[in-house]
Amino acid sequence: EAQVTQNPRYLITVTGKKLTVTCSQNMNHEYMSWYRQDPGLGLRQIYYSMNVEVTDKGDVPEGYKVSRKEKRNFPLILESPSPNQTSLYFCASSLSGTSGSIFYNEQFFGPGTRLTVL
């Protein structure tokens, strides 16, 4: 089954304790991305990756790191989590590309990781 998986699904941690949320897709997608969802703010993009070894900042990258060493995985790293990073995190992937002058990018989302930082 084609899917995006995230682990863990739920995590409670304390301030300053490094953590990693994994994201994996089995669709051979080039593009992957991380978002956080907060009430009243919608989804905001943290980082994205257009391909292996290529990552770019989204709108709210502060306090986060990512890496894209292989196509299927795109882990999100919080080196020193703080309470304002308590949120619902979604990973997404897409088979992006260009057809003529049109760039297409239809994203498929993972199930989400609910993170609480105390």
Partner 1 sequence: AQSVSQHNHHVILSEAASLELGCNYSYGGTVNLFWYVQYPGQHLQLLLKYFSGDPLVKGIKGFEAEFIKSKFSFNLRKPSVQWSDTAEYFCAVNANYGGSQGNLIFGKGTKLSVKP
Binding site residues, partner 1, CB under 8 A:
31, 33, 35, 40-45, 48-50, 56, 58-59, 90, 92, 96, 101-112
78/89 with CB nearer partner 1: 89
69/103 with CB nearer partner 1: 103
CA dihedral 20, 59, 63, 17 (to 10 degrees): -40
Q: Identify the CA nearest to 49 among candidates 24, 74, 28, 27.
A: 74
8/16 with CB nearer partner 1: 8
